[in-house]
Structure 1
Amino acid sequence: MDSRDVAMGLMFLSQTAVGILGNFSLLYYHLVLFCNEYTLRSTDLILRNLVIANSLVILGRGIPQTIAAFGLRYFFSDFVCQLILYMQRVGRSVSIFITCLLSIFQNITISPMNSCWKDLKGRAPKYIGFSISLCWILYMVVNSIFPLYVLGKWNSKNLTEKSYFRYCLYIGPDKITNSLYAALFVFPEVVFSVLMIWSSGSMVLLLYRHKQRVQHIHSTKGSPRSCPESRATQRILVLVCTFVSFHTLSSILNVNVALHFNPSWWLVNTNALISMCFPTISPFLLMNWIELHSIQDLLLRNIKFLILK
C-alpha cells in the first residue's frame, strides 16, 4: 500500500470522526433540551436540520474515501454508488441553504422595529419549518432526476461516460449534460453565499451601532473586545468567512471533477477533503451561536437604542 494512500486514509478517518462527533454532540444537546421540555427556539430547529445535512455529507464522503484510501477499490455496486453520490449532493445542497437561512433569520430577529424586516419579525418563525421542509423535498426530487436519467441511459445505445472515483465506478451522462448539471447547482450556491455575506454584514453593522449607543453601559475597566457585541461580531465573521471560503473552493473543485471523467488522485482526494471541511467545523462554530441568543435578548431589551438616524 502506498504511503500517500495511508496518510490520506488517516486524514479522512480523522476528519470523519471529528465531524461525526461534533455534529452528533450538537444534536444530542438539542435532544436533551427537547426531552427536558425546554422551549426550543426557531434556530434550534434550523440547527437540528443542519446537523443532519452535515452528517450526510461527512458519511457519504468520509467513509467511502477512507476505505478506498486503505486499499479496497470499487467495492460498491452501481446502485450503492448512485445512492452515495445522491446522499452527498442532497446533504451539501441542504447544508448550504440552511446555513444561509440561519444567518438571514438571525438578522431578521435582531433587526430594529423600524428596519425593512419589521413586517417579517413576527411572521418569520412560522415559516421556518415550511422553508426547511420545502428545501429537503426540492433537493431530494431535483437530485433524484439525475440518477434516474443515468439509469434510463444504462441500456440505451448511446454510451455513457465512466468516471473512476476509487470506491465505485460511476456511470454518467455525456460531458455537456454533466457540465449543465454542475452549473445548475453551483449557481444557487453562489446566490446563497452572497445572501449570507449580506446578512452577516448587516448583523455586524447592527451590532456595531448598538455598541456605539450603549457604550456607557459597559464597564470602563473592561476591554472593548470583551463586550458581548464584540464577541458576537467575531463569531459571525468567523462563521461567514469559513462558510464562504470552503464552499467557494469546494464548488471550484466540484466543477473540475465534473469536467474530468477520470480525475487525478490529487483532485479527487482534495475535493473530498475540502467538501467535508465546513460540515466538520460548523458544529463547533455553531455552538457559539448559543451566545448570540443572549445578544439577541440584549438588543431586544434595549430596542430604543436601535432607532437608526
Structure 2
Amino acid sequence: MFSLKNVLYFQAGLGVLANMFLVCFYIYIIIGHRPKLTDLISCQLTFVHLMMFLTGGDFWLTDLFETLNIENDVKCKATFYISRVMRGLSICTTCLLSVFQAVTISPNTSLLAKFKQKLKKYIIYALFCMWSFNLSFSSNRIFYVGAYTNVSETSQMKATKYCSLLPMNYIIRGLILTVTTSRDVFLVAVMLTTSTYMMIILFRHQMQCKHLHSVSYMRASPERRATQTILLLVVFFVVMYWIDFIISTTSLLLWRYDSVVLTVQKFVMNAYPTITPLVQISFDNRIIIMIKNLQSKYLHICF
C-alpha cells in the first residue's frame, strides 16, 4: 500500500505540473496570439484535469480545508461534488474536442461542412451547456456524501480516509447509476463514431495525395498531427474510462470499498489527466517552437 501511495503522489505531481504548464500556454495563446478553434476546448480540458488532481484524493484541496478549519462534512461534500463535476466535464470536453476536430477536417462536400463557419459560435454555446448540465447533474453528491464516522459502519461505504457515501434508496441508487451510465455510453459512442470518421478522412486524404506529396510532408501537416493527437486521446480515454467504470460500478452495487481497490481506481482515474497534457505537449509544434525560442533568448542574455 505504501508503494501504491507513492505512485499516486508521483502521478499527481507530474499531472499537476504538466497541466499547469499547458493551462499557462493556452492562456498565452488565446490572449496574445491567433488561437485555433480547438484551443479554447483544450484549455478547458486542461483546467478540468488540473482540478481533478486537486480534488481527487486525501491531499491537495483537503489540506487547504484543514488549514481553514472547515468541518469534515462540508469538506467531503465540496471535494466530492467538485470531483464529480470535473469528471463529467472531462468526458464531455473530450467528446466535444473530437466532434469539433471531425467537423474541422471534414471535406467541403460533406454534410458537416456547413457548420465550419459557425464553429466559434457553437463552441461558446457548447461549453456553457456542458458546465450547466454537469453542475446540476452532480448535485446529488451534496446529499449522499458526508464525513465518515464509526457509527453504523454497515450503512456507510467508506470512500476516502475521512469521507463516505451515505445510505441511499435502491431506486435512487439505480436511477443515478442508469442516468450516469446512459450519459457516458452516449458520449463514448459519439467519440468512437467521430474517431472512425476522422480515420476514414485521413486514410482517403493519404491515398489521394500520395502522388503529390511525400510521406514526411503528410506527417508534418498540422491538421493531421492535431487529428492524430485527438484520436490517441480518445482511444486512451475510452480504455481508462471503462476500467474505472467497472471498478466503481462493482463497488457501488456491492456497497463495499477495499482500500487497495480504491487506490488502484484512483490511479486509473488519474491516468488520463496525466497522459493528456504530455501527449498535447509532444504533438503541438507551437509549444516546441516556444520552448526553443525561450532557450535561445536565455542563452543570448547569458552570453
Shorter-normalised TM-score: what interval?
Answer: 0.7 to 0.9
Q: Counterparts of 1:233-248 in structure 2 under 5 Å?
A: 234-248=228-242
Aligned equivalent of 1:275: 269
Instruction: Give the CA deviation at 1:261.
Output: 3.0
Structure 2 distance, partners of 1:148, 1:41, is 40
Q: Deviations over 1:202-239 (max 9, x none)?
A: 111111111111112223xx569856487566534422
Aligned equivalent of 1:302: none
- The one-letter amino acid of 1:40's match is P
Instruction: Give the CA deviation at 1:32.
Output: 2.1
Aligned equivalent of 2:5: 9
Aligned equivalent of 2:129: 134
Q: Structure 2: which 5+ residue stretches go unaligned? A: 64-69, 147-152, 287-303
How many corresponding residue pairs?
A: 272
Give me the TM-score of the superposition, normalised by structure 2: 0.80
Of residues 155, 166, 186, the one that matches 1:161 is: 155
Cα 1:194–1:127 change in 2 (3 A) is: same
Structure 1 distance, partners of 2:185, 2:209, is 36
Structure 2 distance, partners of 1:42, 1:160, is 51
RMSD of aligned Cα (Å)? 2.9
- The one-letter amino acid of 2:250's match is N
Q: Counterparts of 1:75-90 in structure 2 under 5 Å?
A: 77-90=72-85
Structure 2 distance, partners of 1:123, 1:288, is 29
- The one-letter amino acid of 1:21's match is L
- The one-letter amino acid of 1:282's match is T
Q: Counterparts of 1:20-169 in structure 2 under 5 Å?
A: 20-35=16-31, 37-64=32-59, 77-148=72-143, 161-169=155-163
Contact 1:26 1:287 in 2 (8 A): yes
Contact 2:77 2:141 in 1 (8 A): no
Taking only the aligned residue pairs, the percentage that are identical comes to 26
Structure 2 distance, partners of 1:256, 1:266, is 14
Note if 1:287 corresponds to 2:281: yes
Structure 2 distance, partners of 1:123, 1:131, is 12
Contact 2:55 2:61 in 1 (8 A): no
Q: Structure 1: which 5+ residue stretches go unaligned? A: 69-74, 152-158, 293-309
- The one-letter amino acid of 2:42's match is L
Q: For residue 118 of structure 1, give the secondary structure of its aligned residue in structure 2.
A: helix
Cα 1:106–1:223 change in 2 (3 A) is: closer
Instruction: Give the CA deviation at 1:44.
Output: 1.2
Q: For residue 263 of structure 1, give the secondary structure of its aligned residue in structure 2.
A: coil
Structure 2 distance, partners of 1:288, 1:29, is 13
Cα 1:171–1:214 change in 2 (3 A) is: closer
Instruction: Give the CA deviation at 1:85.
Output: 1.0
Structure 1 distance, partners of 2:51, 2:131, is 12
Give me the TM-score of the superposition, normalised by structure 1: 0.78
